[in-house]
Every structure is written in C-alpha cells, then in structure tokens.
Amino acid sequence: MTGKIKSSKPLENSELFAYKNPELPVEDRVADLLSRMTIEEKVAQLMGLWNDGIEDFGEEVLNDPAKMKEIFGNGCNSVHPSALGIKETVKLRNKIQKYLVEKTRLGIPTLFVDEGQHGLMRPDSTVFPQAIGIACSWDPVLLEKVYGVIAYEMRSRGTHHALSPVIDVCRDPRWGRVEETYGEDPYLNGVLGCAAVKGFQGSDDGTVIDNHVAATLKHLLGHGEPEGGQNQGPANYSLRVLRDYHMPPFKMCLDKVKPAAVMPSYNEIDGVPSHTNKWLLKDVLRDEWGFKGMVVADYFAIDQTLLKESVVENEKHAATVTFNAGVQFEFPKSNYYYHLIELLEEGKVNLEDIDTAVSQSLKLKFELGLFENPYINVDKAIEVSKNVEHKELALQAARESIVLLKNEVHPGTNGNALLPLSKNKYKKIAVIGPCAKDLYFGGYSGEPYEKVSLLDGIKNKVGNNTEILFAQGCKLTTNTTTSYFNWKNHEIKFASREENLGLIKEAVEIAKKAEVIILALGENEHLCREAWAKEHIGDNMTLDLFGEQNELAESIIALGKPVVVYLMNGRPLSINKLVEKVPAIIEGWYMGQETGTAAADVIFGDVNPSGKLTITVPKSAGQLPMYYNHKRSAQFVDYISQDIKPLFYFGFGLSYTDFSFNNVRLENNDIGTSDSTKVLVDVKNTGTREGSEVVQMYIRDLVSSVTRPVKELKGFNKIKLNPGESKTVSLPILPEHLAFTNRDMKFVVEPGDFEVMVGSSSRDEDLAKTILHVK
C-alpha cells in the first residue's frame, strides 16, 4: 500500500486480547482481530508486497525504521518471491516477520509466497520434471508425493502460499506455457490437479497440515487455448465448450480437495477479462460451485485491465471493477487496491466484501500457526533441502515420465528393436546435439545442488568400458544461463547459421567414429516460455525443430549408423522426418535434475519406459487445433497437402515389453441415468520383461441432443505386470462420466447407447470396445 500511514492508537496489554489466544477457535480469533483493525490495516491485508520484481528489499530498507514503517507499517497480505538462496531467504523473511510481529500495532504476520509447479522456484531446491513431463507418468500417487516434497521444501524456508498448480487444459501447442500444464484432457488434468493440491496442502479437506502450504488453482478460465496460441490471447469460446472442456478440472479439484485459493486468468472470455468477470468469479465460482476460499489476482492482471485491455478508465476504476467482480487480493503488490479506502468512502465498494476477504487472509494465517511460530530456522531449511529422499523421488519421477515414441529394427541390430542398447556391445558411442551437454528444466524452475545432463548420465552408465564421444552439433541460443534466467530474462540471442553449419560438420566427423549415435534435440527456455511483454516473447508459430537441428539430424542419419533421438522440450514438436528415418525416438520433455540418469536408465534398459503422452503431437501447425477429443465433423477429411492424423496420439507410449487387452465387459450392460457400473478388462504382459501399462477408458455418447466428442477419457489405472502375468482391471463408470451440457445448458445424462473403449492409447486401433445401454 502506498501513501501516508494514518496513526493508530497502540494496543495496550495486547497479549490479553482474544486473537492472541491460541486456545480459542480460529473463527473467534479472526472475529476479534477484525474488530480491532482500521480500514487501512484491513486494506493492507488485501495486497502483496514486491520490491520491483524482487522480494529482497535490501539492507537500506530493512535497517531504516522510517522506510520499514512506510512499507510495512499497516501490515500486508503477503510478500512475493525472488531467486534468493536459503540463507538470504531465511534472513530476509525473519527480519520482515519480526518487524510485522513486533513493531506494527496489531502484530499480524505476513504470508510468504512462492511458485512450485515442478519444484520450489529458488536456488538449492529439488527440480522435478516439468508439469507436461510428470503428467506423462499418469501416476496421481507419484504426483502427490512430488508436490508434498515441494511443499516441505517451501515451508522449511518460510513459504506459506504456493501459486501452483497450473491445471489449464492446453489445446494449442504453439502456446509458450504448454510445459506448465498437464496436457489437453479435462479429466486427466483434474485427477492430477487433485493430486497436486493434496500434495501441497497435505489433506483433501482444505486443511493445510504441518510442513505443507496453501495451494492455488490457476488460471480460471480458458487460458490454455489462447487465440493464435499467444499467451493472454482471448478465449472467446462458447459457454458449452467452457463448461465441458475448460471448467471440469477446476470443479473437480474444488469438490474433491478444497484448495485454499483460485487465480483468474489473464485472458478474456466473450470480451470480458477474467479479472473483471463477475459471472465467472461470483455466479459460477462462488454461487454455483460453492467456493469459500481466496480469489487472488495474477501478477499485474489488474493493471492490464487499464493498460492493455482498456475496459476501465483509470486506476480507481480498475480497483472498483476487479474487486467488485470478485478478485479479493492484488498480487504481487499494491498498484491499484490502495484506492479501496477511498472507494469505500465513496460507496463504490462494500465493507462487507472487504471484511470477508480480510477474514479469509487472517484465517489462513491463524491456521498456519503464524501468530505463534512466525520464524524460520535456517539449519532446518538447509537440512530439508539436502534430503536424499527428495533426490531419489526426482529420479523416480523422471524415469516414470519418459515416453518411448518409436523403437524399430535397424539393419545393424540383428532383427531386434534398437532399444534398449547393450552396455557391452558398443565400444564408441557418440552423444551429439544442443541438448546433450546442456540441461534445461523449463520455466518457473529452481536450481538444484547437483544436476545430471544427458551426456553425463550416459558416461556414468557405461563406465570405462565404452568411449563416449561428444559434439555440440549446433546451438539453439547463445546467451543461455540457468533455466530460471533463460525463462526470466528478456533478451534472446540466436546462433548464426554460419556457426551452426560449422558445428554440424564437426559433429559429422565425430559421429563417423562411433558405432551408435544418441542425438539430443529440442528446445530451451528461450524458445518456448511464458510471454508477458513485447520485449519478453515466448510463443511460437511453428512446431518444427528450431534453427539448424533438422540439418544436423539429416547429416547424422546420412551416415547410415543406428541413431537414437532424445528430445528435450516443453511442448509437442513436429518431427516428421525423424519419425520417418530414425529407428528409435524418446520424448524426454524437461525431466529435471536427474534427466541424464533417468534417460540413461531407459536407453540402456535398466528401466522399462512407461510414460504416455498427455497431449497430441500434430504433424504441423497447419493441422491446429488438434486434440483427441474432437467432434466428428472435425478431423473428418484430409487436407489437400496433408492427412488429418496426428504424428503421435494422446495416451500413446511404448514399452520394452508387450501387453494384450482381452475380454472387455461391463459389470452391468443396462443402467439408469443415475446409476453406475464398471468396465472390466483382462490385461496380460505378453513380453519377456516386467513392465507397467496405463489402462485407459474412453467413452462416447453415440446419439445426443448436441454434438459430442468422438471419445473422452473418463478413467485410467497404471498397473505393473511380470512377464506372462495377467490382471483384471476394473474402472468405474459413474453418472458424471456420462453427463454433458445439453441443449438446454443443463449438465445431465441422456438415455441412449454409449460406446466404452479400453486400451493403451486414444488411437482407435489400440482400443477394445463394448456398448453400455442407459435407460
């Protein structure tokens, strides 16, 4: 909050007041404290604090009582993140908290906020696979464990509120934030979002337990399908599309795991920016869905209503419209909400709405125990950051998330698939490409104590028995640093074509010496990231490999040697020529700090890959939009220049063993519209080694009052089977799996026949089918 602080009478014997008594119910403490607050103190609880993009206010502020009073004198809702190390973080946060607790009139502590979509976004933290990667594990239990570790590392450093998870349904791979999402499917995003929230908060009833943090669902609504694939672009889709595709993950999480907060999206819907959308934030979120938690602004989104979207006249008008629309808290700092005091005097906002929001903020602070335990122990924070179990979990997550896209015979493999490679067969292996030695994590990333590149992972795996040759091959960009700063910094410097052609020649000479080549291609955080300003771009109009990578691949393939392509990226890439010419392809996404170890485990067969795609891979950007749950009239006839089939289907992923699906049947073939049943299938490992398979269930309404998708994921189960082992898998079919928004805009189950499909991917030939009759 800016402006002069009005003087308030100090509280005498404040320790006697009810809000100071931890034995009282939280509701009583909130009511007592709220009754003692001035309007200035209340409004301060609705705003974050950030020092021009960094949390570190500096010693010149922290040691100056006058400046501290100016900034923190009335308190604040929260202090927002920076890239400080552990010791600096703890020191700064304890100083700020000490001032708020001991020097302000009411002693209200602050919340500290951080990002955590694939690890705490700070140095010396565990970096897990980026969201689009870990989603490919199709393992909610794993995700809950991962986000539990992230929460633990956060809380040990004093973080209370995570601005995660991202559960946007992503339906445009040109968008720079694809990597932050769990993919294109509403049901899967909801299930994985529930796991993430439960991991962050440690419960499914809204309670934030010890060593956990409050979670924030984002971004409501339509953010993952922006016009032109450009971040913050309009999402002007029909109400039925919004309700049947974009809303379900949010409603599922709100119903099942009770997140503490929801963040609206930057984009507009039907011409109305989400931060000004009363229908979305009050009529739907509050009244229809019954959400009781906090609604927090995305960073500078309130500013954008004036500066970008032009739906308000000035700062005061922006504060009026967004607050009355339902945005309770301005993040990351107070640019506009300090006007609420004046707006209240003018009768343009209601005191009841302010008190409700303040009460929610105070309730969270009391429930987190901040009034009794506001400070952080630096030794504990360091100990938590070095927990070896966190490193082991990062490795497990990476192993389970890698997707094997292709594995065929090469002339030099004696009739066997190229992968896995034998550690003892090859004397010289070349590891080539811009993603071999350099390791990229994706946006919103922390930086671990240690990290393993693909090159190092392969060296560690084969030991001294095999010579590992390396060549850069080409460069993606030339000003790369750590993943965080690749994502954060504005400037992108591209390598020259002349330089890259020279590197390709060098790589070819190196590759000639090898018996097998591992070609590491993809992108980095410069080439696909969140775009938030004209000087900070991140979306991409093409899905092709960037720069001279295709030329590098063609030159290496031309040598006629076995080639394994390893992709490191955050969005689908249209690698048509590689699919045509290369026998083995691995989708590695951004796999986190253990990338090299996990990749080598898969390449050399110590781990059997089990990841499945959670987003469709098109053959070109010209096919967009392309997602598996399309309507029948979409993807119906081929283009003149290209067919309508994707390069890789949603749910697809290979294994080093084989599985069969047999005897698909329903527990009850005939049910009522309010009844449930189950589909059962016998799955057998018909190969020669242990493996995991994701059993996927899709449903199609054969005749309906409005057009429906050709199939929709409505259940899945990941199972592990030994060679020759069989297991009967049962998946429930509930009324909610059959319901949709009908012609009258009601969410109902219509009587009729439903096709139930079970198999290993969304591709028709991978599915066995049966018919469910609903009366």
Is 298 a known active-site residue? yes
The one-letter amino acid code at 737 reads: H
d(CA 327, CA 305): 13
Q: For the stretch 36-73, what's the b/e string if a residue is b when 16 or more beta carbons lie within 10 angstroms of its beta carbon?
A: ebbebbbbbbbbbbbbeeebebeeebbeeeeebebbbb
Which tokens in the block code for residue 312? 């308000």
Which tokens in the block code for residue 757? 């499909």
Backbone angles phi, psi at 697, to 5 degrees: -115, 125
Whether the Cβ atoms of residue 714 and residue 697 lie closer than 8 Å to each other: yes
Which tokens in the block code for residue 175? 């968008």
Q: Which helix (H) or strand (E) holds 393?
A: helix 388-401
Torsion over CA: 472, 476, 479, 484 (sign):
negative
Cis peptide bond prior to 420, omega within 30° of 0: yes
DSSP characters over 689-724: S-EEEEEEEEEEESS-SS--BS-EEEEEEEEEE-TT
Which tokens in the block code for residue 237? 């889709």
Whether the Cβ atoms of residue 667 and residue 680 lie closer than 8 Å to each other: yes
d(CA 556, CA 507): 8
Query: Any idea what DSSP says for residue 656?
Result: S
Catalytic residue of the set 298, 456, 539, 601: 298
Please give, one letter per residue, the 3-state secondary structure of 166-209: ECCCCCCCCCCCHHHCCCCCHHHHHHHHHHHHHHHHCCCCCCCC
Strands of 621-748 (E only): list them: 659-666, 670-671, 677-685, 691-701, 712-721, 726-733, 740-741, 747-748
Residues sharing a CB contact under 8 Å with residue 270, sequence separation 6 or more, in sequence order:
236
Torsion of CA 33, 39, 44, 45, to 10 degrees: 40
- Residue 302: how many CB atoms within 10 A of its CB? 27
Whether the Cβ atoms of residue 522 and residue 132 lie closer than 8 Å to each other: no
Strands of 244-307 (E only): list them: 261-264, 268-269, 272-273, 294-295
Catalytic residue ranges: 298
